[in-house]
Amino acid sequence: MKRRNRWGLVALLILLTSLLAGFSLLAGGLAIAQDDALPPQVVDTIPLAGEELPLDGPVTFYFDQDMDAASVEAAFSVSPAVAGDLSWPTASTLVFTPTADYERAAEYSFTLADTAESAAGVPLVDAYTLNLRTVGYLEVSEVLPAPDSEAVDTDAIITVIFNRPVVPLVSVEDMGTLPQPLVIDPPVEGKGEWLNTSIFMFTPDTGLRGGTTYTVAVTAGLEDVTGGILSEDFSWSFTTLQPDVLEIYPYDGDEGIVLETPVSVTFTQPMDPASLENGGFTLKYAYPFPMTDDWVETEQEPVPGTFEWNENFTELTFQPGDMLELGAAYYVTLDAEKALSATGATLREGALSTFYTVPYPAIIETSPFDGESEASPYGGFTIYFNTPMDLDSLEDKVIIEPKPWRDFDTYFYDWRYSYNLEFDTEPSTEYTITILPGMKDRYGNEITEGMTVNYVTAEYPPELTIQATGDVGMYSSYNPTTRVFVTHRNVSRIDLSLHQLSLSRLAELTGPNSYDAWRSYHPRPRELLRQWTIDVSSQQDQRRYELLYIADKGPSGIANIQCLGAPDPQVKVGDVAIVTKEDERPLNIRQEPNLDATVISQALVDETMQIVGGP
């Protein structure tokens, strides 16, 4: 028992010894931590470096740890010197508040020497300096129109942009109490308003005067919301665009102007109507056109008439009081000194334009022309005049030989003053067109001489058509008697080829995009089933009908010896036939059953004949 107690006492002594050693280590650790404390730093400031400092604004320094106020205040300085107070809202925040305003637009350095210590007694590693510039003077940053700019539009708005707020934000009702900083020379009536606290805009009531140099000034002494003033006058100049003529109609050099045509002039700016109507604009007779040898130039009086203006006075329309003269040149003149803009500016330069009225009526050409040998077999006949015509005077003044077989329409088009007689022209035919005198222009002037035009029409161009129900017809190529109905004219040979067609390609050629499919379709050589040629004949310019075999096996060629499917003949050998009244033309009787055969006689309407031979 006594032995165990002795070992317990030893264990207690060892435990106490360990606790004492731990305390010594802990105490040593605290001493080491105090010796290794981090130096303090300035982590933020208000204002930041580079920001403007208000004239009475405080400067705040934020440290990353609590500071020793006495050492920091002793280390603090401002250059150039400014009286002020130091305060500590928190143990890590220093505020300098000036007791007198800073100088305007001045550089200030706020310095903390390296003797400033933290609460733990650790000093700054290096001195800290904050450089700030105080609020400067009011300045003009930008203006519109730009200084020394030229050709400025007369509806321009004059704008000034300042470098800092000049006026406070106010309600619309209080806008009239704000300063109007612009002085404009020459003076301009208008309205000025602040777009925001630093942008001022001036809008002229009736626009600026064209061709004028304006000087705009902002007078020194204008004060901004911080108390900064504009230290000296700011001024700039710009020149507005002079009024100019954009367009005169009729255009310079225009010919064939009808006698009642008004003259219009378009300007770049609103104009003063009185200045144009009293000599700024004139229309005068110039000379006969074409010029004659006996013409003697004399001073002409302006053509009287009436003026009309568009709503904003940029377009003038002058309507002559009487018809202009036939075959005459006229001058349109804009006087640069007399024509004024609405703001009183003269034109940049005067303008002169010449136009020519329609001459006495005449036929200038025909289509076809006299002597033409290959005229279109489809075209009818067209007469071109040099002036608009009286349509009633054209009726019954044109004789066509041979006479068209049915009535036709006539049209007159103002474009090129053309008179179209749209009769059915026959191919390979000699025509004689007689134009009688007596046609008149719309002003009553008469063409006193007639004209004769002879020409020959060309034959119809070659034509071949497969008579199907559309682009696609359904036929059996396996039936040896399958035939296709075709028509042809002026063709001597038909070349045919039969190709195989897949169902997918057939779907493309008959589907919704069939038009494009047909344009791009080209049969492949391997799809060719059959190729052959057939000689055909027909009377010139006459359409002939054929039935062609198309099977890939079996007969080929023409199968029109009899008209398959036609009704039975109505006459037979021995019958007496009569010529009906369905066609007034006589029935040609030919020597042989061929349209090219010689005509040996003609049978008139109601004439009878006996059938002596035939099928």
* Tens digits of residue pLDDT in 360-378: 999 999 999 999 999 999 9
- 88 contacts 72 by C-beta, under 8 angstroms: no
| Pairing status of strand 418-422 against strand 409-413 | antiparallel
pLDDT at 474: 78
- Mean per-residue pLDDT of the chain: 87
DSSP-assigned letter for residue 8: H
Question: What pairs with residue 107 in β-bridges?
Answer: 133
Average pLDDT over residues 68-97: 96
Average pLDDT over residues 531-545: 85
Over residues 449-458, the pLDDT tens digits come to 999 999 999 9
Name the least confident of 42-46, 215-219, 264-268, 549-553: 549-553
Q: Which token pair is 237?
A: 């100049």
Kindly give, in sequence order, each residue whose CB lies less than 8 Å from that of residue 145, ignoring residues fewer than 6 positions away: 152, 156, 158, 238
pLDDT beyond 80 at 479: no
pLDDT beyond 90 at 61: yes
**How far is the C-alpha of 427 from the C-alpha of 408, rounded, in Å?**
17
Average pLDDT over residues 562-571: 57
pLDDT at 45: 97
pLDDT at 535: 87
**How far is the C-alpha of 169 from the C-alpha of 174, rounded, in Å?**
10
DSSP-assigned letter for residue 177: G
pLDDT beyond 60 at 593: no
**pLDDT band (50, 70, 90) for residue 559:** low
**Domain map of the chain by residue range?**
1-34, 42-134, 140-239, 245-356, 366-456, 463-515+525-549, 576-610
Q: ∠213-217-223 over CA atoms, to 5°? A: 165
**How far is the C-alpha of 403 from the C-alpha of 611, rounded, in Å?**
34
pLDDT beyond 70 at 566: no
**How far is the C-alpha of 482 from the C-alpha of 495, rounded, in Å?**
18
CA distances in angstroms from 384 to 92, 342, 371, 453, listed in the order given: 103, 47, 17, 13
pLDDT at 23: 38
pLDDT at 597: 67
**pLDDT band (50, 70, 90) for residue 477:** low
pLDDT at 9: 31
Do 140-239 and 42-134 fall under one CATH topology?
Answer: yes
Three-state DSSP class for residue 2? helix
Over residues 182-216, the pLDDT tens digits come to 999 999 999 999 999 999 999 999 889 998 999 99
**How far is the C-alpha of 269 from the C-alpha of 345, rounded, in Å?**
10
DSSP letter string over 484-529? EEEEEES-SEEEEEEE---HHHHHHHHSTTHHHHHHH----GGGEE
User: Using alpha carbons only, how large is the chain's radius of gyration in Å?
Assistant: 54
**pLDDT band (50, 70, 90) for residue 106:** very high
**Domain 42-134 top-level CATH class:** mainly beta
Which of the following CATH numbers is that of domain 366-456: 3.60.70.12, 2.60.40.3710, 3.40.50.300, 1.10.150.20? 2.60.40.3710
DSSP letter string over 294-341? T------PBPPEEEEE-TTS-EEEEEESSPPPTTEEEEEEE-TTT-BB
Over residues 5-56, the pLDDT tens digits come to 433 333 333 333 343 344 333 333 434 344 578 999 999 999 999 888 999 9
Name the least confident of 82-96, 285-299, 586-600: 586-600
Q: Which token pair is 586?
A: 């006589």
pLDDT at 250: 98
- 330 contacts 355 by C-beta, under 8 angstroms: yes
pLDDT beyond 50 at 565: no
Over residues 300-334, the pLDDT tens digits come to 999 999 999 999 999 999 999 999 999 999 999 99
CATH for the stretch 140-239 = 2.60.40.3710
Q: Which of 376, 369, 336 is CA-nearest to residue 242?
A: 336
**Model pTM score:** 0.60
CATH for the stretch 245-356 = 2.60.40.1220
pLDDT beyond 80 at 4: no
- 316 contacts 307 by C-beta, under 8 angstroms: yes
pLDDT beyond 50 at 67: yes
Consecutive H or E run containing 534: strand 528-535
DSSP-assigned letter for residue 273: H
pLDDT beyond 80 at 564: no
